[in-house]
Structure formats: C-alpha cells, structure tokens
C-alpha cells in the first residue's frame, strides 16, 4: 500500500445498525474506504480472502462463527490487522483478550443495544486506530532504529521495573512478563491503556501465565519483589514512600488527563520515590504517553528502554521516547524480557 492510498477496511458485525454506523463513521474520513461488510465469521473469512483489506473491524458475538474463531482463520490464511469491537463487560474483556492472543492487534469497547453513546465513542477513537494499523507496514526514512546502549552493562542498581504500553500492549506485556523468573528481585508496575472493566480480567490472566505474581493494583498495596501491579482502568497509579515502605495510591483521573491510566503519571511518581533506581520500558502504543515521565526519570538518573519499530504494533510511544533522546536501549520485543533478567 502506497502512502497516498486509501486504507481499505472490511467491517464485520452481525448488527445491521452497527454495520451501518461504523461504515458512516469511517466514510467521513477521506483517507479510509470501506470495501465490504460481513455479518458473521464465515462471511468475514471469505471476504477477507476476496477483498484483501488493509484493516478489519471485528465483532465478537456472531452467528455461524464467532469473531475469535474468525480471527484465527484469517491470521492463518491472510494475516491482516484486526480491531476487535466488544462489550464493556467482564465477559467482553475475556473474549477480547482471547482475540488478541489469536492475532488481533487492537480493541475498542462498545455497548450492546446500539445506543448513540457507544457510536460516539467509536466515532472518537476508531478512525485513528484504523490509521495507526493501516499505515503500520509502510516504510519510512525513520524505519531503522539504532541499538543505543548507554547503560547496557548496568547491573544490580535497580529497585523498580516499570512498563508502559497501549495499542498492541496486552500481548507485548504478556510476552515480557512471562520471561521473568519466579524469584525476580523487583516489584513491577504495569500501565496499559485499558478500560476499567478490562484490567481485572487481564491481571487475572497474566497471573495464571506468569511465574511472578500479577494483580490489579489497589490503593494501599505495599510494593513487594516478584509481584507485578497492573494499573486499574479509568484511574491513575501513584507511589508513596513512608518510613521506608513504598505503597501504591490509586486515585481518580482528572478531567484534563487524556490517558486513564497514564504512563506519564506513574513514571513521574516513580521518579520522585525511586529516583535513579528505575528501569522503565516503553512498549508498543499510539501517541506519546510515557515521554514526559521518561524525561523525569532520566533527570533523576534512571534508565529507559524502548521497543524497536519492527516489533511494535504501533510505533508511537517508543518512537516519542527515542526521538527525544531518552532511550538507553532499543530492543525487539522478544529480547526485552531476557535482557531485563540479565541486568538484575
């Protein structure tokens, strides 16, 4: 796909209402073309093969074949960037996580019933997600990333591991955390852009997959080595140190805070408590959340690693850190976990 070409989208949803509304929303953008629609998973697999779209929006609950099964078949026959549209419920969260593990790259929650608030949410967020995934394979002059290694051999100095991510983050975080041993010596903070109903299911799933413990963070949690704390959706995760004990503060987000939770907020708080003792890792994601927090950490002498462009679903967050000259190491995703273990 050339840079000037429209992003060709296949819309998959068993609701005629949502098919129509998603199509209307996307067609407002002159850079997006809806090339087809499907109402079930079987039709979606056939349409993906026939139309060869650049991006697919995929419902979860559909007749004939559900969205998760459709994702698996599409990824086997013709890998295509897929965005899941699923319910804000606990069941919707589990299904979305299954879809991401099957190969979907992003998700956007929606409310069932076809209410306008759900359509407004989709209208605000879906086109930019389409752009991010539709352009992800384009080659630019900045495609090559340097393997910066200013603190590559620093060992034993860290007191906290902090991880930030957004689009593509759930799968990347899973790959990183499963590489850590049960006796990992640091507490781990994880911030990923997720809605409130999704983070409990994500934490529970990670806890069953990882050798370290993983839990959704709660206000007052004391940071312990070998335990990961996932920032709850919709809120902000801060740190507070009293009498040599570091605890988490979970607070409501302010109206002016775009990301809830925000990587910047947590990293800035970590800089105040741990100063030069943080290893922060910025993974795949849209936007620049994490850059300001990484800057605060660097001012205190902490270390920043970022995921390389080739292994990112969306290069925005790591790119912002790298362009600002904040990244001490730039690594492909599969190397980050093992490298963390080596420098402990």
Mind telling me the catalytic residues?
Answer: 166, 193, 289
DSSP class of 149 = B
Farthest-apart Cα atoms in the chain, separation: 64
3-state secondary structure of 23: helix
Rounded to 5 degrees, what are φ and ψ at 249? -115, 120
Answer whether 303's CB lies under 8 Å from 279's CB.
yes
The radius of gyration of the chain's CA atoms, rounded to the nearest angstrom, is 20
**Contact partners, residue 136, CB within 8 Å, separation at least 6:** 81, 313, 314, 315
Beta strands in 261-342 (DSSP E): 278-282, 303-307, 329-331
Cα–Cα distance measured from residue 96 to residue 30, given in angstroms and rounded to the nearest whole number:
29
Rounded to 5 degrees, what are φ and ψ at 67? -65, -35
- Side-chain-side CA neighbours of 203 within 13 Å: the count stands at 25
Cα–Cα distance measured from residue 84 to residue 107, given in angstroms and rounded to the nearest whole number:
4
Answer whether 202's CB lies under 8 Å from 232's CB.
no
Q: Look up residue 37 and give its two tokens.
A: 């629609």
On the 0-12 / 13-18 / 19+ scale of CB atoms within 10 A, 170 is buried
If we measure between CA atoms, which residue out of 315, 310, 246 comes closest to residue 274?
Answer: 246
- Side-chain-side CA neighbours of 20 within 13 Å: the count stands at 5
Answer whether 210's CB lies under 8 Å from 180's CB.
yes
Rounded to 5 degrees, what are φ and ψ at 320? -60, -40
Cα–Cα distance measured from residue 164 to residue 204, given in angstroms and rounded to the nearest whole number:
18
């Amino acid at each position: 796909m050339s840079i000037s070409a429209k992003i060709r989208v296949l819309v998959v949803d068993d609701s005629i209402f949502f098919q129509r509304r998603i199509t209307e929303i996307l067609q407002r953008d002159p850079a997006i073309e809806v090339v087809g629609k499907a109402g079930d998973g079987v039709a979606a697999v056939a349409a993906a093969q026939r139309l060869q779209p650049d991006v697919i929006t995929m419902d979860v609950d559909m007749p004939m074949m559900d969205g998760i099964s459709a994702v698996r078949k599409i990824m086997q026959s013709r890998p295509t960037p897929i965005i899941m549209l699923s319910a804000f419920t606990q069941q919707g969260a589990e299904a979305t996580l299954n879809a991401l593990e099957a190969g979907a790259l992003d998700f956007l929650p929606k409310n069932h019933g076809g209410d306008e608030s759900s359509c407004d949410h989709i209208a605000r967020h879906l086109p930019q997600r389409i752009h991010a995934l539709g352009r992800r394979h384009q080659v630019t002059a900045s495609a090559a990333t340097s393997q910066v290694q200013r603190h590559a051999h620093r060992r034993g100095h860290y007191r906290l591991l902090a991880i930030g991510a957004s689009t593509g983050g759930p799968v990347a975080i899973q790959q990183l955390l499963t590489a850590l041993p049960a006796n990992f010596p640091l507490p781990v903070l994880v911030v990923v852009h997720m809605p409130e109903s999704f983070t409990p299911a994500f934490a529970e799933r990670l806890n069953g997959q990882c050798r370290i413990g993983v839990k959704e963070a709660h206000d007052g949690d004391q940071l312990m080595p070998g335990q990961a704390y996932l920032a709850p959706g919709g809120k902000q995760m801060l740190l507070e140190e009293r009498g040599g004990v570091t605890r988490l503060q979970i607070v409501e987000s302010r109206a002016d805070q775009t990301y809830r939770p925000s990587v910047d907020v947590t990293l800035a708080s970590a800089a105040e408590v741990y100063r030069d003792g943080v290893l922060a890792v910025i993974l795949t994601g849209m936007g620049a959340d994490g850059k300001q927090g990484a800057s605060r950490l660097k001012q205190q002498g902490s270390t920043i690693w970022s995921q390389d462009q080739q292994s990112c679903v969306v290069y925005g967050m790591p790119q912002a850190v790298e362009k600002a000259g904040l990244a001490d190491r730039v690594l492909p995703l599969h190397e980050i976990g093992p490298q963390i273990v080596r420098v402990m």
